[in-house]
Structure 1
Amino acid sequence: MKLFASDYDGTLFKDRIIREDDLHSIRKFREQGHKFGLVSGRSIDSLKTEIEKHDIPVDFIVGINGGAVETGEGEQLFIRMMETDIAHELIEAVENFGVKFYGANDGYRLSRVYCSDDVDDCFKPNINLVPMDIMLDEGVSAMYVWVGDEDRAQTLANMITEQYGDRGIIAYPNVHSVDIGIKGISKSTGLEMIIDHYNVDDTVYTIGDSFNDVPMIKDFHGFVMENGVDEVKAYGKAVHETVGYALNAVLKDIQ
């Protein structure tokens, strides 16, 4: 049994749509007895909303860059929270830097604070929001920041990692945004839990488009999207235009 893990935004969900050809290739891959799932910076609940909306067939979900892991049947395999004081300090640092909006999640629910009126509707959350003070009181697993500029996103990610790295925090630039999580947790570590759970003993394929995908691209048989970040493409075994094309290439190789 092989396993294929796809990033969501910019990868399977590309140009704000999911291609029917991609869904067909996913179904074909699973029909041959293999596992397919999503590995994303989004929360679990946000991914589940997308899965239901687009009827995406999945066997597992890895959310918030490895910070929350579930089987396709909804069994929780992993969740981890930040220290409360660090979460408060990160919010202050982000606000002082100046961003479009920022948010936090507990692996499932979302909170968000808008710092600008200039926010595209496409970034509106697909699930109900929890007030930030409640999220901070009950526990934060990861944070996300929309900067709106690739260079500033890189600068903010570097700043956070430098200032909070020795306290167990890491930040990834993700095109125009920044994902902030717990050091030692990544899409790759989340996938390892799925591999152990399903006793996968064959090739694990991954595909993504940005820096938060690098761990799983490097650690497994990784592909990179054609529309992906150029620096990330250096880590992939191949570059593909769509998830469907990557899946079809895998199916052709294993026939």
Structure 2
Amino acid sequence: MKKLMAFDLDGTLLFDRTIDPANVQAIHRWQQAGNLAVCATGKSIFATKLALDKTGVTFDYNVLYTGAVVTDAEYNILHAQTLPVSVVRACYERFKEEPGVALFATTLTHDYRLADNVGSSTNILPEFLPLAESEIDTQDYVGVPLWIPEDDARERTYRWILKEFGDSVDCHKNQDFLDIVPRGARRRPGWHGLWSI
């Protein structure tokens, strides 16, 4: 009987963009024994590829964007949910000049920065492309990560998201990020996408 083990990345398996060699070897042994290793993370396809590049780990499947997307080992999309563009537009209008907030938007192919009012960088989203305001309505989005290093500001923003969008989206607290994802996009439902394959 084939077994499955899921691995979170940031702060669990991945630290400072590296995976301990002993963990890499353990994952390889698990897979060589005929079992499945699955990455389960809030990261996008783009950020997951970047994070795992040069680690020596290739997962059999990836449950990404906190469950909104499932891919195979080569990042071919097997299941995906997207957000209404109106959510991205509303977040942009609200946070484009908000001090202490960096606003990103993730698609199935790229991570974009819409606004950066933090002024430093994070290892969780280390690379991104700029996206002009005029291009916001031209993309299909899977997630809207907001990087808010200050606890009180993050909590105020979380309350705003819940009030503004109600139950039309999910918002997950992840370290010093808030991740807005499609309604029902949790890692557990992502497994349903994996099992339906």
Q: Same fold (TM over 0.5)?
A: yes
Decide whether the 8 Å contact of 1:67 with 1:107 is kept in 2: no
1:169 matched residue in structure 2: 169
CA–CA separation in structure 1 for the residues paired with 2:145 and 2:125: 13
The CA deviation at 1:59 is 0.2
The CA deviation at 1:40 is 1.5
Q: Which letter does structure 2 place at the counterpart of 1:145?
A: L
Per the alignment, do residues 83 and 121 of structure 1 end up closer, same or farther by CA in structure 2, a change over 3 Å counting? Answer: closer
Are residues 1:21 and 2:16 paired?
Answer: no
Decide whether the 8 Å contact of 1:148 with 1:176 is kept in 2: yes
Decide whether the 8 Å contact of 1:39 with 1:63 is kept in 2: yes
Decide whether the 8 Å contact of 1:109 with 1:130 is kept in 2: no
Which stretch has the larger CA shift, 71-80 or 142-151? Answer: 71-80
The CA deviation at 1:139 is 1.8
CA–CA separation in structure 2 for the residues paired with 1:136 and 1:190: 26
Per the alignment, do residues 196 and 67 of structure 1 end up closer, same or farther by CA in structure 2, a change over 3 Å counting? Answer: same
Decide whether the 8 Å contact of 1:104 with 1:143 is kept in 2: yes
What is the TM-score when the length of structure 1 is the normalising length? 0.68
**Between structures 1 and 2, the one with greater helix share:** 1
CA–CA separation in structure 2 for the residues paired with 1:100 and 1:90: 11
Per the alignment, do residues 98 and 117 of structure 1 end up closer, same or farther by CA in structure 2, a change over 3 Å counting? Answer: closer
Unaligned runs of 5+ in 2: none
Decide whether the 8 Å contact of 2:66 with 2:186 is kept in 1: yes
CA–CA separation in structure 2 for the residues paired with 1:105 and 1:118: 20
Identical amino acids, percent of aligned pairs = 20
Q: Which letter does structure 2 place at the counterpart of 1:179?
A: D
What is the TM-score when the length of structure 2 is the normalising length? 0.86
Per the alignment, do residues 117 and 83 of structure 1 end up closer, same or farther by CA in structure 2, a change over 3 Å counting? Answer: closer
Aligned length: 195
Which stretch has the larger CA shift, 28-37 or 151-160? Answer: 151-160
2:186 matched residue in structure 1: 186
The CA deviation at 1:69 is 1.4
Per the alignment, do residues 83 and 120 of structure 1 end up closer, same or farther by CA in structure 2, a change over 3 Å counting? Answer: closer
SS in 2 for 1:54: coil
SS in 2 for 1:171: strand
The CA deviation at 1:23 is 0.6
**Between structures 1 and 2, the one with greater strand share:** 2
CA–CA separation in structure 2 for the residues paired with 1:75 and 1:118: 34
1:6 matched residue in structure 2: 7
CA–CA separation in structure 1 for the residues paired with 2:67 and 2:17: 23
Which stretch has the larger CA shift, 149-158 or 69-78? Answer: 149-158
1:160 matched residue in structure 2: 161
Per the alignment, do residues 195 and 124 of structure 1 end up closer, same or farther by CA in structure 2, a change over 3 Å counting? Answer: closer
CA–CA separation in structure 1 for the residues paired with 2:119 and 2:21: 32
Q: Which letter does structure 1 place at the counterpart of 2:95?
A: V
The CA deviation at 1:26 is 0.6
Q: Which letter does structure 2 place at the counterpart of 1:178?
A: L
CA–CA separation in structure 1 for the residues paired with 2:17 and 2:187: 22
SS in 1 for 2:15: coil
Are residues 1:142 and 2:143 paired?
Answer: yes
Question: What do the CA deviations read for 1:155-174 (whole angstroms, capped 9, x no partner)?
Answer: 322321232124x1121121
